[in-house]
Structure 1
Amino acid sequence: MSADADYADAPRIPPIPPRPPRRPAAPPADEDPKTTVLRPVPAEPADPAAPAAAPPAARQPLPAEAAPASTPPVAPAPPTAPAAPPAPVAPPRPSAPPTTPPRPRAEPPAAPPPPTDAPRSFRDTAAFHLANSASLWDEPAARTSPAPAQAPPPTAPAPAPTPPPPAPTPWPATPVGPTGVEPAPRRSLAERLPSTRIVAAAVSLVLGIGLMGGAAAGSWLTESPAKGTPTPEAAFAKGQDAWRNTPVDTLFPRTVEGLAAGPGGADRTWIRIAVAPDADCTAAVEGPLAKELAPAGCARLLRATYVDATRTDVITVGAQTTKADRSGMMDLNARFSTHNLATRTALMPLPLAARGTPAEGFGPAQRASWTVRILTDIPVVVYAVSGFADGREVTDPQPADAAVQPGTATAPAESGLGHDAKGLADKVTATFRAASGIPASPTEEAP
């Protein structure tokens, strides 16, 4: 048997790998443009109070017997058979010479020594290294004028006594100028304010007042009639032709609303049921009243009959246009007032009884209340007479001015016939005055 067979089961030791080739030395870190080098921390200053430390002894090789055992000894294999010869080992390759000789490392400038009273931990922080290496990574402008090193906070400084606050400096009465220069004299308001501003302010004031006056005048003109309030003479002359120039539905509206015109302030509504054609003033139409109105003359007589909303009361309204002038109307009014002609029962106007209406049975015996108005601003005499729509006779008629008085217990007063005569006379008077261009008085309302 051969020797290889004897060592077939013995463990084979792998060959020793060759040594790697030597690499060129890397350039120093401070010469690499992509590497930022922090300034090395200077050695810790020696404390004069502490004893000088002994220099470290040179490292001496330990004797063989004192060398620590790093690994336990491996028991040798029993020599059962002679070991095989080791494989040949390749010679190591020569290392390639460096292409470029390394540059000598430039030493960074020495940093100023830290203060002796700073703690040791302060020099080991990143803030300390960043503060001392600012000149390496700051901008070129900052490198030319390096910022002063940040002073470390004091460990425990003793509080210094607080100095007393300085006395307040009094405010000068006049502004203090530079040394040797006297302040300029204060100018008056007229000198400091330019004349253009004064003119502009005056113009603005005048325009504002003018606009306010124009707005007020426009509002007054808008609220007034279209042609303004006529003079008394013009209104009187226009009233003479009102019966001719004004529609009958305007002088005698189809429906008249009387707000608070009834007994106790109740609202009343009157509906027109008949209109008589215009006629001359005769005793057959007006009765004895025509004789008393004859001195003023008669131009035209208009009449209409109304019924209330309950169809209980009927009222006849008349408007006689006279031929008198203003002084003649004043004389007529004075005579009626002096002799109380408007309240005489014998001078009650005659009613207008229209067939086929609730006023068909309205005759002289059914008259219950009446009123007569002598107008002096226009040549018109307005009157009204009321009665019951069922045709009953009234034995004690009463003037409207007396029947509307509170507490009156007569039949015309309690039935509201006095309120009907007075309310309709007021409405027709307002319509004739409005047709003449006269605005309604506060006590009158247009229908």
Structure 2
Amino acid sequence: MSTDAEFADARHIPPIPPQPPHRPGPAGAPEPDGDPRTTVLRRVPAEPSVPAPGPPPAAHPVPPRPTVPPPAAPRVPPPAAGTQPPPRVPGAPAPAAPAAPAPPPAGPPVSFRDTAAFHLANSQSLWAEGRGPGGGPAAPPAPRTPAAGPAAEPPWPATAPPRNGVGAAPGAPAMPRRPSARRPGPRLLGAAACLVLGIGLLGGAAAGSWLTDEAGAAPASAAAAFTKGRDVWHNTPVDRLFPRTVNGLGAGPGGADRTWTRIAVAPDSGCRDAYDPELAAALARAGCTRLLRATYTDATRTGVITVGAQTTKADQPGMMALNTRFSTKSLGSRTDLLPVPYAAKGTPAEDFGRAQRASWTVRILTDIPVVVYAVSGFADGRTGTEPQPAEAAVRTGATTAPAESGLGHDAKGLADRVEADFRKAAGRPPQTTEASS
């Protein structure tokens, strides 16, 4: 079992004193070694006093390491070849062999343990190292001088001056403050701020445009669309409600394409003189806020078409009741309930009057308070053509003049386009649930 003494430094433990020399006994007494039967009893020492606490003795004392190396013996050159070494003088000491190098001081064993005996054994040396010969504090060690040569390390940089109001030592030279290399200048900070501000403005504009587009694309509620549809007539440009050119893909007879060009726009006005008396009486229940009209001609300028939109004063249940009345009583197919064309002076529609009407349609919209209609006729002013509703003239196999000339297709195609434009301006998708004639 190991003891604490095995881990103590043997250099600082005093050696065990040698045994006292052998004293001869009285004359005539036999030597202990000569008489094996005789037992030598040693004297029992007195009760020892309690020693002062100190490091326990080492099991194997080690002599202290000499501080001054012994003087080296003079080196005798070896004798030359073929010669005899000088004779040895009697009584002269033999030449001393070269001294072996002193073994290095024993360090802490591999199985080092931080024990109380170790601290007690080394405390004296720690105190001795920190004090000088006269008992005062030891002199500070001399500063190291860096070795000259390419492998010498550069000196450490000077310590930065203290901050926070702590001044340098009195008498010390002031050290200049160097600007920090990592601190950005005012120009760099200004450029970064402008860049961040510009990116923020661009991002905000893009986000606002995206949100506006999304809000415009999202369909409005039924109540909101109905309320907004009442103000479409004065909040929407005329070119959006009545485009200058309307392309009807497959809208002509036999699926032919049609193109209509706007030739006149009537000033917004009331509904007086816009309908035949019977039709005006049927629409009077819904009221009239404003009437918008425009006249178109086809690509050959042989037909003219007037399309109109009346904004009513009725609420949504009133528009539903009006649509039901037109559907159940077939008011849209009666020849005595026709709209009146808008004959603009100086245009191909100048001679377009009541007698030239050949086809028509009337739409009662239920999701917005608007009545859309269209009436078509010949541009040369001919008469004697029996009017026919547009829905009947566009049927397959119809052989009437409005059907073969395409006037029924013109009235239906332009009414569909204006109806879709008013719904789009109000925020509602197009639909075809209204009664039409």
TM-score normalised over the length of structure 2:
0.49
User: Whose radius of gyration is greater, 1 or 2?
Assistant: 1
